[in-house]
């Protein structure tokens, strides 16, 4: 699995336009081969973090190079973000826990 951590800060005046573009990119990403999931979070200080999961580097690369996504990237650099950082990572280990609600005993 390939995990991309995308950290960014929006320019305040770009928020509404960004939200429209972001909704379109979210729907488009879900159609890409190898897509697993993505989820975004915003910290109290305004930093935004999006975590994106693809089955393989090929799938993630296809998403990165999709023409509509490339245009969104261009607009993001020119209009929406005051800063951003991208980290692309290979999953080394995974563990999970989910409480099922049943009582022990």
DSSP for 1-56, written as a single string:
-EEEEEEEEE-GGGHHHHHHHHHHHHHHHTTSTTEEEEEEEE-TTS-EEEEEEESS
Say if domain 2-90 classifies as CATH 3.40.50.720. Answer: no
Residue 102, token pair as written in the block: 């049943």
pLDDT tens digits for range 36-86:
999 999 999 999 999 999 999 999 999 999 999 999 999 999 999 999 999
Task: Delimit the domains of the chain by residue range.
Answer: 2-90
pLDDT at 49: 97
pLDDT tens digits for range 79-93:
999 999 999 999 999
DSSP for 60-96, written as a single string:
HHHHHH-HHHHHHHHHIIIIIEEEEEEEEEE------
Average pLDDT over residues 6-10: 96
């Amino acid at each position: 699995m390939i995990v991309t951590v995308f950290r960014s800060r929006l320019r305040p005046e770009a928020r509404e336009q960004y939200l429209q573009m972001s909704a379109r990119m979210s729907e488009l990403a879900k159609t890409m081969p190898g897509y697993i999931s993505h989820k975004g979070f915003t910290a109290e200080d305004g930093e935004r973090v999006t975590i994106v999961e693809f089955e393989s580097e090929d799938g993630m690369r296809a998403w990165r190079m999709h023409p509509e996504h490339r245009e969104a990237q261009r607009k993001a650099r020119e209009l929406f973000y005051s800063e951003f950082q991208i980290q692309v990572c290979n999953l080394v280990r995974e563990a999970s826990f989910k409480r099922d609600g049943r009582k022990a005993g």
